[in-house]
A and B are shown apart, each in its own frame.
Chain A
Amino acid sequence: MSSIEEFSRWIKQNNLNIPTDCERLKNLSLLDLSKKKLRELPPSIGALENLNVLKLSNNRLKSLPSSIGNLKRLRNLQCENNLLENLPDTIGEAQNLVIINLNGNRLKSLPESFYTLTKLTRITIAANWLEALSPKLQNLNKLLYLSLDTNNLTHLPDVFGGMKALYYLDLSYNQLTTLPPSIGRIEELETLLLEGNEINNLPSLQSHDMLIRLNLNDNHLKTIDFELSQLEDLQILTLDNNALTHLPPSICSLQNLAHLSVSGNALQELPPCIGELKKLVELDVEDNLLTTLPPSITQLKLKNLYIDHNHNLKRPSIPSLEFCDVE
C-alpha cells in the first residue's frame, strides 16, 4: 500500500470530513485538520507532496511525524494549541516554510535544524516553555514578525542586527533582565512588546525612530532611562504597572503619540507640558498618586481619560472627551 493510500485510510478511520480520493490527496495544496481532537498524525502525511498549507491547530498532538520534512512545498504550518513537546529534526527539511505558528504548545527548545528555515518571515511560538534560543537565529534574516511571548527566556542571543525587515517583535512575559544591543539595530521595527519582564536598562530603545508601539508594562521600572524624544513616530506607549514616580518632560515631544497608558504606577504629578501632545486621544493614569492634573490637560483632544483611584481627581473640562472614569 502506498503512503497516499495509507493516509486515505487514516482519514476514513478517523471519520474526517476531507476527500479520500488518492489522486485528489496527492494534489492537495491545503489540508485543514484543525479542531479534530487528533492525538497523533500518521507518517503517511509526508506523502502529500503538493501541500502548501497545513492547519493542525487546536488538537491534542504531542508530536509531529518526522515525515513532515517530506513536505517540500509546505509554506504555512499552523499548529497552535496542541501539546507538542518537541519538533522533529526533520522540520528543517521543509525548506519552503514561510509561516509557522506553534503558539500554545510545550516546546522547551527548538531543534538546530529549525534555524535553517531561512525563508521564514513569520514565527509565532508564544506560550511555550522555551528556555533559550540558538545564536543560529541570526540565519532567519527574512523575518518580518517574531512572537516569543510567554516563554521562559532569561536571555536572548545578540543576533538581531541582520534582521533588517523585522517590524514586529513580542518578547512579553519572559524573564528577561536585559536586551541584547543588536535589538537597537532592527531598522524597521514598528512594534516592540516587552511587557512582563524585569528589564531595567533600556538605552538601546532610543535608536528605534520607526517605532510606533512600545509596551513596557510590568517591568518594575522606576525611571525611564532612555531618551523618549527620539521615538518620533511613537503612537502607543504603555508603561502600566511599574514603579514610576514621574514621567520625563521629554515625553511631551512625542508629537505622534495617540495613546499613553501609565496606570498602576506611583506618579505624583504629570508633566506640565502634557498639553503639547496634540494627537493624544487616550490617557490612562488610573491607580497612581496624583492629587491634581496639570492645567494644560484641557488643551488635549482626548476621547478617553482614566483617572480613577488617585486622590479625588475630578473630570477635567475637555470638550472632545467621550469617556472619563470619574465624574
Chain B
Amino acid sequence: MEALHNRQICACGHKSVAQAIEIFKQTDLPYKKAKKLVTECNKTCCRRPLMALFNMVEFGAIDYEEIDFLIEQMHSRGEESDE
C-alpha cells in the first residue's frame, strides 16, 4: 500500500498520490484550480487520475488501487504531460 501512496501521480509537479491528497484536502478551490496546486502548470495533464483523486477526497474515501490503475492507464496511453 505504501508504494501506492508514494507513486508519482503526474510528471508535472512531481507530486506523489499522498501529497496530492493532502493538497486537495487543504483547499476549497474547484478542481481546475486545485489541480494546478498539484501539477504547478496550466496544462490539462493527468486528468483522469487527478480528477478521480479529487472526487475521492471530496467523497471521503480513497480507492488507491483505482488511482494506481488510472495512472497505469495514463502511462499506457502515453499522455502524462500533454493530454
Measured CA separation A194–B26 after assembly (Å): 31
Instruction: Report if A241-B44 is in contact (Cβ < 8 Å); known contacts: A106-B76, A196-B83.
Output: yes
**Chain B: minimal CB distance from A320 (Å):** 18
**Chain A: minimal CB distance from B26 (Å):** 16
- A306 in the interface (beta carbon within 8 A): yes
Chain A 93-146 residues near chain B, CB threshold 8 A: 104, 106, 127, 129
Contact check: which of A81, A218, A241, A261 meets B73 at CB < 8 Å?
A: A81
> In the assembled complex, which residues on chain B have CB atoms less than 8 Å from the CB atom of A129?
77
Task: Let me know if A196 and B44 touch, CB within 8 A.
Answer: yes
Q: What 1/0 flags go to B54-66 for Cβ under 8 Å of A?
A: 0000000000011
Task: Let me know if B70 and A218 touch, CB within 8 A.
Answer: no
- B6 in the interface (beta carbon within 8 A): no
Total chain A interface residues with beta-carbon distance under 8 A: 20
Size category of the B interface is 10 to 19
- B31 in the interface (beta carbon within 8 A): no
Minimum CB distance partner of A217 in chain B: B44
> In the assembled complex, which residues on chain A have CB atoms less than 8 Å from the CB atom of B43?
241
> In the assembled complex, which residues on chain A have CB atoms less than 8 Å from the CB atom of B76?
106
- A173 in the interface (beta carbon within 8 A): yes
- A150 in the interface (beta carbon within 8 A): yes
> In the assembled complex, which residues on chain A have CB atoms less than 8 Å from the CB atom of B83?
150, 173, 196
Task: Let me know if B42 and A241 touch, CB within 8 A.
Answer: yes
**Chain A: minimal CB distance from B36 (Å):** 9
Instruction: Report if A81-B69 is in contact (Cβ < 8 Å); known contacts: A106-B76, A129-B77, A196-B83.
Output: yes
Task: Let me know if B32 and A81 touch, CB within 8 A.
Answer: no
**Chain A: minimal CB distance from B54 (Å):** 17
Contact check: which of B32, B48, B65 meets A150 at CB < 8 Å?
A: B48
Instruction: Report if A81-B66 is in contact (Cβ < 8 Å); known contacts: A173-B83, A196-B83, A306-B33.
Output: yes
Measured CA separation A104–B73 after assembly (Å): 7
Task: Let me know if B70 and A104 touch, CB within 8 A.
Answer: yes
**Chain A: minimal CB distance from B37 (Å):** 12
Task: Let me know if A264 and B42 touch, CB within 8 A.
Answer: yes
**Chain A: minimal CB distance from B10 (Å):** 16
> In the assembled complex, which residues on chain A have CB atoms less than 8 Å from the CB atom of B70?
81, 104
> In the assembled complex, which residues on chain B have CB atoms less than 8 Å from the CB atom of A106?
76
Measured CA separation A261–B70 after assembly (Å): 28
- A240 in the interface (beta carbon within 8 A): yes
A-B contact sample (10 more), CB < 8 A, given A81-B73, A104-B70, A306-B33: A58-B66, A81-B66, A81-B70, A106-B76, A127-B77, A150-B48, A150-B77, A218-B44, A264-B42, A287-B42
Write 30 A-B pairs (CB below 8 A) sorted by A numbering: A58-B65, A58-B66, A81-B66, A81-B69, A81-B70, A81-B73, A104-B70, A104-B73, A106-B76, A127-B48, A127-B73, A127-B77, A129-B77, A150-B47, A150-B48, A150-B79, A150-B83, A173-B44, A173-B47, A173-B83, A195-B44, A196-B44, A196-B83, A218-B44, A241-B42, A241-B44, A261-B32, A264-B42, A287-B42, A306-B33
Q: Which 6 residue pairs spanning A and B have beta carbons closest together?
A: A264-B42, A218-B44, A104-B73, A81-B69, A196-B44, A127-B48
